[in-house]
Chains A and B, each alone.
Chain A
């Protein structure tokens, strides 16, 4: 299964590379959201406080675009059905796709981070290495349930509304934890809260990366 997962990841990365113009579209979409929040906040003194939340809002909305595209590739010529009928473990398909989606989100996050810090004038008082960990765990938390629900919504009508509606309530704990942890790194963490937020993110990741893999096989058949 590990071999199949890696091959699946390789296939995803190859198709993503061929569509890199579309991937950059995901980044620009997230950046546009970040800019809109900055424009829509009349009191610029408040901006540094909302930098962390805005980063994750942008990533959350961008993740739905990225997931839609990831499945559009599969549905174009029935490749998804081909995967189901091929001797491939559905769990390997899931983990390959989820890892690929995570990597895309991580790339977008690292591209967005310096821009958010600059535009929102966020001071990075805490340890910047914590930001790397938060981004990694947070993107994993968005990609895992998103890859699962993306399979459903890409084949249903009204997917542009359905994916956010199904995904967002599910990832609220992860977004809360990531946004709070990021804000604490930006503003300083006198009460040492970042480790507990990271613990919540880690627990979320473990739960969803294991449960979603099990559920994926059932969803693929139907």
Chain B
């Protein structure tokens, strides 16, 4: 059988400039469909990882958008977040397999670089959660709606959980690559400050019993804590940092295609799971708030 023409998407000739960019230099080992040029174990390879990721994203985000409509939620025989949570779990398992075995080795870091497939989504989702907490806190200050206070509590707590995972994965990654578990470089310092700020918000909520006070005080604290999110994100640009700069920007990406779709696959897994955690935690907060709120007195007749 004649050897098929190589698809440009699977070409091994990578842009030299891209290879030298800070970020993830493309691996010299070409992947797309393993183990060879356009062929997989089932013969001619028809699986395109990035297409799968796009389909997953469309389905999941579409479901999430649809869940915003009360009619859609009422039509479901179960809580709207459960399908997303289940999908997230399945995607996470598949995504971990992809990251650990399927994705190409990183050019300089080798197999150590595989932790990036969970470290980066954890970082992104931590910042998303803290940004949501900031927005919910702002919303509560302007509208005084109890639901927003519960949402802020949920976002802070889930963000702290993801942030702890982020710092742990980062430490595990830093040890073989930088030689240290931790350093006081701007990205790590600002991440630690961001985490501590939100831990403070949660502690404050824990010690204040009165609902109005707790909501107002923790909203103010969350707004100030949320200022740390852009500082953390741009710390690698604003100051000299050991940590690499952003690989995925509006201007373009410095990640090889064969690696990028695995990263996004895991990111959607994290996203759907985070949405599930946020929704469940919001329900718990709402139930507690409702139980604590006194019933309105009956209307006076005079």
Chain A residues with a Cβ under 8 A of chain B: 145, 148-149, 152-153, 155-158, 161-162, 165-166, 168-170, 172, 211, 215, 218-219, 221-222
The chain B residue sitting closest to A172, CB to CB, is B193
B residues 214-271 touching A (CB-CB < 8 Å): 216-217, 220-221, 223-225, 228
- Cross-chain contact B200 with A169 (CB below 8 angstroms): yes
The contact of A168 among B189, B196, B207, B221, by CB within 8 Å, is: B196
The complex places the Cα of A68 from the Cα of B189 at a distance, in Å, of 28
- Cross-chain contact A162 with B207 (CB below 8 angstroms): yes
When A and B form their complex, what is the total count of cross-chain residue pairs whose Cβ atoms lie within 8 Å? Answer: 58
- Cross-chain contact A169 with B197 (CB below 8 angstroms): yes
- Cross-chain contact A169 with B196 (CB below 8 angstroms): yes
The contact of A218 among B141, B196, B208, by CB within 8 Å, is: B141
B238 to chain A, nearest CB (A): 11
- Cross-chain contact B203 with A218 (CB below 8 angstroms): no
The contact of B220 among A153, A158, A168, A219, by CB within 8 Å, is: A219
Interface of B is mostly: helix
- Cross-chain contact B200 with A165 (CB below 8 angstroms): yes
Taking residues whose C-beta sits less than 8 angstroms from the other chain, chain B's interface range is: 20 to 34
List A contacts of B189 (CB < 8 A). 172
- Cross-chain contact A156 with B197 (CB below 8 angstroms): no
- Cross-chain contact B196 with A158 (CB below 8 angstroms): no
Chain B residues with a Cβ under 8 A of chain A: 141, 189, 193-194, 196-197, 199-201, 203-204, 207-208, 212-213, 216-217, 220-221, 223-225, 228
- Cross-chain contact A165 with B203 (CB below 8 angstroms): yes
- Cross-chain contact B204 with A152 (CB below 8 angstroms): yes
Q: What are 17 A-to-B residue pairs whose CB atoms are below 8 Å?
A: A145-B224, A148-B220, A149-B221, A152-B220, A152-B221, A156-B207, A162-B203, A165-B199, A165-B203, A169-B225, A170-B197, A172-B193, A215-B220, A215-B223, A218-B216, A219-B216, A219-B220
The complex places the Cα of A157 from the Cα of B223 at a distance, in Å, of 22
List A contacts of B193 (CB < 8 A). 169, 172
List B contacts of A222 (CB < 8 A). 212-213, 216-217
B80 to chain A, nearest CB (A): 33
The contact of A162 among B194, B196, B200, B225, by CB within 8 Å, is: B200
List B contacts of A219 (CB < 8 A). 216-217, 220
Decide yes or no: A156 and B216 within 8 Å by CB, A166-B221, A169-B193, A169-B225 being known contacts.
no
The complex places the Cα of A170 from the Cα of B141 at a distance, in Å, of 20
A175 to chain B, nearest CB (A): 11
List A contacts of B220 (CB < 8 A). 148, 152, 215, 218-219
- Cross-chain contact B204 with A166 (CB below 8 angstroms): yes
